């Protein structure tokens, strides 16, 4: 064996003059590492996390995340992530509170729920289970370039999303500058229980006016479209990362997102109120079929002797007139060699979509599009949190995170007729987030 | 923290372990904040380096190397590690057209590279030539036989070998921790850092005859080694005699590079390629260009 091996080395040397390749083989023999696998084959790095998200009186979510990453050597990286979450509780339907109790039909058409006097109508049947899988492969290409490609799958009971992405990154200036460009294509299909509502169709509420169950069902079905609908999204991303000095790194991104298809939330409605502010009927919302978003992102990380400061700002704007500003800051403070504490503060501000309105007024012209979904209204939100991490002697790490989140919807300049003046149409949403994670 | 043999200090986002061995400053940079881990890795490194030094140094009496070099023509038993190193040296001999020769160390009896002008008389060099020649060494997996008067010198690969052995041990014990093993400029980085940043390492390189400049190199992972005649040479009648000796003539290689620094997956691979480049004399750059490696060659 040994002799043949040596002859092979010598022949190779004479043919190609590449001594290095032969020397690499001899080195591997000496050091007991395999020439095929190379010495720098990495180990799987894994992360497991369990997250609890609880809004007061509204949605509760429990999410489990498992992610794994491996370096196959020479900067060939594979990463994958599996997420499973379960949501239960109630979410705002879009209808306004009233000075009397209100009866609603569930989105499925099966059964009703009653909202108490003065309460914001919450659809109490909100529950879902979601599973997500994403995988990414990154490797060097030619000329200091890196390529990355990945897939993303997300499945909910009534929703399926499939996405593929690809990106290139190139280093300049002795790897101090990295420029990247990426493309992502997503295809979503939705098939909600009970069907998709017809735009602006009136919610059918059984108040004893129907002769029998069939008559009710026929009236309900008339407000629904059968079959699935879909949405395609194209995302383009351009980024630049610049190492400013040994301690400081800066990143700029621009993202363009264009989506086409079904954007409407099949579970959201608008109240139609009279000039006294009293609800006369409820109609299903309708949104444009296209949306183009731009977002600009800047991030700076600064390493101090005691920790790391991380501050970012994002500005997003779109052709629905939703513009937002996000400031996110984290400061990692090393308490000791193996423990750290990380306070987190995030502030978010958003303007309302042009077709957002908290309710419709009876007798006025029906708009082309309308939604009362508070997530498309004017709002501010903030997050205050703290994370504590500790490293085991083995290098594995435990981390605990606790955060408070508050979302404050605002009136985007709508007059409130009669009874609505007395009611809180823009209640705050308060939530607690708790997370435990383990990296091994 | 200090144990008398090695020291550990915290350096910003990493820890540094230091000791002295193989006539060289030895340094470990570890991407950890854990003093216990840093201490353990440095103690492993210290023990392993001392083990290799004890076993292969030609300056120590009664070690395996002394047994081989003073065998007076008799066969001496060797272990598997020594055999692997001999095989490696044999590959280097073949790859270098017989220029890399572990038996050429006896020439030091004539050549003393102390910066003086003491160029030995030709008779002194000729008298040593019968004791040079790798092909005269007989060895197999269990023993080695040298002709009386011949000597083996692992000096050309020992430090680089120690760097790689220490790096392997660090990888085995702490696979997720990036460690830089730096023994006087012979370097191995076990893996890329978690923060994706390169390690910055100061390496001495000769800029002109009198002063050595420290260059900062960025290294993400892999090996780096330097070979050169920075401080070991003779100067007579304006002619510089490098300590890089040609085993075929017994005289220094002409037009040798001042220093060659080179990056390769392993430190010992980088070190040997740098040495082979020096042995090429004026053809060093041409040789290095053909090897498809990153290198810095100073003249």
Q: Are residues A149 and A168 in contact, defined by beta-carbon separation less than 8 angstroms?
A: no
B271 in a structural domain: no
- By residue range, what is the domain housing residue B137? 64-113+130-156
Confirm or reject contact between A335 and chain B (CB < 8 A): no
Which domains does chain A possess?
Answer: 1-39 (no CATH), 44-439 (2.40.160)
What whole-number distance in Å separates Cα of residue A270 and Cα of residue A282? 6
Structure tokens at A195: 């069907």
In a domain, B97, yes or no: yes
Residue B45 within any structural domain of the chain: no
Q: What is the pTM of this model?
A: 0.58
Nearest of A392, A384, A390 to residue A436 by alpha carbon: A390
Residue A28 CB coordination number (10 Å): 19
Six-digit token string for B116: 């003086």
**How many CB contacts within 8 angstroms connect chain A with chain B?**
114
Average pLDDT over residues B166-177: 91
Q: Model confidence over B199-250: pLDDT tens digits?
A: 988 776 655 545 556 777 788 889 999 888 666 778 787 787 888 889 999 9
Residues facing A279 on adjacent strands:
A273
Q: What is the DSSP string of A71-120?
A: E-STT-EEEEEEEEEEEES-EE-SPPP-SS-EEEE-TTSS-EEEE-TTPP
- Cα–Cα distance, B24 to B41 (Å, whole number): 19
- Contact with chain B for residue A36, Cβ under 8 A: no
Please report, to the nearest 10 degrees, the dihedral formed by the alpha carbons of residues A101, A374, A435, A387 taken in order: -130
Contacts of A439 in chain B (CB under 8 A): none
Contacts of B39 (CB under 8 A, 6+ apart): B1, B3, B8, B17
Structurally, chain B folds into a number of domains equal to 1
Q: What is the mean pLDDT of chain B?
A: 87
What is residue A246's predicted lDDT score, i.e. its pLDDT?
77
Residue B276 sits at φ, ψ, to 5 deg, of -60, -35
DSSP A334-386: ESSSSEEEEEEEEEEEEPPPTTB-S-EETTSPPPSSBB--GGGSEEEEEEEEE
Any idea what the CATH number is for the domain that residue B141 is in? 1.10.3980.10
Contact criterion met (CB < 8 Å) for B291 and A20: yes
Q: Of A130, A131, A133, A129, nearest to A164 (Cα)?
A: A133
B164 in a domain, yes or no? Answer: no
Q: Residue A396: closest CA among chain B residues belongs to which residue?
A: B176
Q: What is the pLDDT of residues A61-120, one digit of tens each?
A: 999 999 999 888 777 889 999 999 998 888 899 999 999 999 999 888 888 889 999 988
B221 Cβ under 8 Å from any chain A Cβ:
yes
- Angle of CA points A241, A247, A252, to nearest 5°: 20
Question: Is the Cβ–Cβ distance between B65 and B56 less than 8 Å?
Answer: yes
Residues of chain A with pLDDT under 70: 1-17, 33-42, 126
- A27 at B interface, C-beta within 8 A: yes
Q: How far is B85 from chain A (nearest CA, A)?
A: 6
At A255 the pLDDT is 95
CB A160 within 8 A of CB A187: no
Asked whether residue B82 is assigned to any structural domain, the reply reads: yes
B290 in any annotated domain = no
CB nearest B290 (choices: A6, A17, A40): A17
ipTM of the complex: 0.84
> Does B44 map to a domain?
no
pLDDT at B42: 94
A11 touches chain B (CB under 8 A): no
Domain membership flag for residue B100: yes
């Amino acid at each position: 064996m040994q002799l043949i091996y040596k002859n092979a080395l010598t022949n190779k040397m004479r043919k190609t003059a590449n001594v290095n390749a032969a020397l690499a083989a001899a080195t591997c023999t000496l050091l007991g590492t395999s020439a095929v696998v190379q010495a720098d084959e990495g180990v799987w790095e894994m992360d497991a996390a369990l997250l609890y998200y609880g809004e007061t009186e509204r949605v509760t979510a429990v999410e489990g995340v498992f992610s794994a990453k491996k370096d196959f050597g020479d900067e060939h990286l594979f990463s994958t992530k599996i997420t499973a979450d379960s949501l239960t509780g109630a979410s705002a339907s879009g209808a306004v509170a009233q000075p009397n109790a209100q009866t609603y039909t569930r989105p499925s058409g099966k059964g009703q729920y009653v909202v108490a006097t003065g309460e914001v109508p919450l659809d109490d049947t909100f529950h879902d289970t979601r599973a997500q899988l994403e995988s990414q492969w990154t490797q060097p290409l030619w000329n200091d370039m890196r390529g990355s490609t990945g897939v993303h799958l997300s499945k909910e009971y009534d929703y399926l999303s499939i996405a593929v992405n690809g990106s290139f990154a190139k280093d300049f200036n002795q790897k101090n500058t990295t420029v990247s460009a990426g493309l992502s294509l997503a295809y979503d299909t939705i098939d909600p229980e009970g069907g998709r509502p017809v735009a602006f169709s009136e919610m059918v509420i059984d108040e004893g006016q129907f002769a029998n169950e069939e008559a009710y069902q026929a009236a309900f079905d008339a407000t629904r479209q059968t079959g699935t609908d879909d949405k395609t999204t194209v995302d383009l991303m351009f980024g630049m990362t610049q190492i400013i000095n040994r301690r400081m790194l800066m990143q700029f991104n621009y993202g363009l997102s264009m989506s086409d298809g079904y954007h409407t939330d099949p579970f959201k409605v608008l109240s139609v109120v009279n000039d006294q502010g009293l609800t006369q009927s409820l109609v299903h919302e309708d949104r444009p079929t296209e949306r183009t978003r731009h977002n600009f992102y800047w991030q700076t990380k600064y390493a101090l002797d005691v920790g790391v400061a991380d501050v970012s700002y994002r500005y997003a704007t779109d052709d629905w007139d939703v513009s937002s500003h996000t400031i996110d800051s984290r400061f990692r403070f090393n308490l000791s060699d193996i423990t750290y504490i990380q306070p987190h503060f995030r502030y978010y501000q958003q303007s309302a979509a042009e077709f957002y309105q908290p309710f419709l007024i009876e007798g006025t012209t029906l708009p082309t599009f309308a939604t009362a979904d508070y997530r498309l209204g004017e709002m501010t939100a903030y997050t205050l949190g703290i994370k504590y991490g500790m490293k085991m002697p083995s290098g594995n790490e435990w981390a605990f995170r606790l955060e408070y989140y508050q979302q404050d919807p605002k009136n985007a300049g709508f007059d409130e007729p009669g009874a609505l003046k007395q009611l809180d149409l823009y209640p705050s949403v308060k939530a607690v987030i708790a997370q435990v994670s383990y990296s091994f | 923290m200090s144990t008398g043999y090695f020291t550990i200090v915290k350096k910003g986002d990493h820890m540094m372990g230091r000791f002295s061995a193989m006539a060289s400053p030895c340094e470990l940079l570890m991407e950890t904040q854990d003093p216990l881990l840093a201490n353990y890795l440095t103690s492993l490194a210290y023990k392993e380096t001392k083990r290799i030094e004890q076993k292969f140094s030609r300056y120590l009496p009664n070690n395996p190397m002394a047994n081989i070099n003073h065998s007076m023509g008799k066969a001496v038993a060797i272990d598997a590690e020594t055999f692997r190193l001999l095989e490696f040296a044999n590959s280097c001999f073949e790859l270098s057209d017989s220029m890399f020769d572990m038996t050429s160390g006896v020439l030091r009896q004539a050549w003393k590279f102390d910066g003086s002008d003491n160029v030995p008389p030709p008779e002194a060099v000729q008298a040593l030539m019968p004791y040079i020649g790798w092909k005269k060494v007989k060895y197999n997996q269990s023993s080695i036989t040298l002709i009386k008067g011949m000597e083996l010198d692992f000096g050309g690969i020992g430090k680089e070998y120690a760097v790689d052995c220490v790096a392997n041990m660090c990888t085995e014990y702490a696979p997720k921790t990036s460690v830089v093993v730096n023994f006087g400029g012979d370097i191995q980085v076990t893996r890329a850092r978690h923060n994706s940043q390169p390690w910055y390492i100061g390496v001495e390189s000769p800029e002109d005859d009198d002063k050595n400049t420290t260059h900062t190199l960025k290294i993400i992972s892999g090996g780096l080694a330097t070979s050169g005649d920075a401080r070991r040479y003779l100067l007579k009648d304006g002619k510089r005699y490098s300590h890089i000796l040609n085993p075929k003539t017994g005289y220094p290689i002409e037009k040798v590079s001042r220093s060659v620094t080179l990056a390769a997956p392993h430190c010992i691979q980088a070190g040997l390629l740098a040495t082979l480049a020096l042995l090429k004399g004026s053809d060093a750059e041409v040789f290095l260009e053909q090897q498809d490696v990153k290198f810095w060659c100073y003249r």
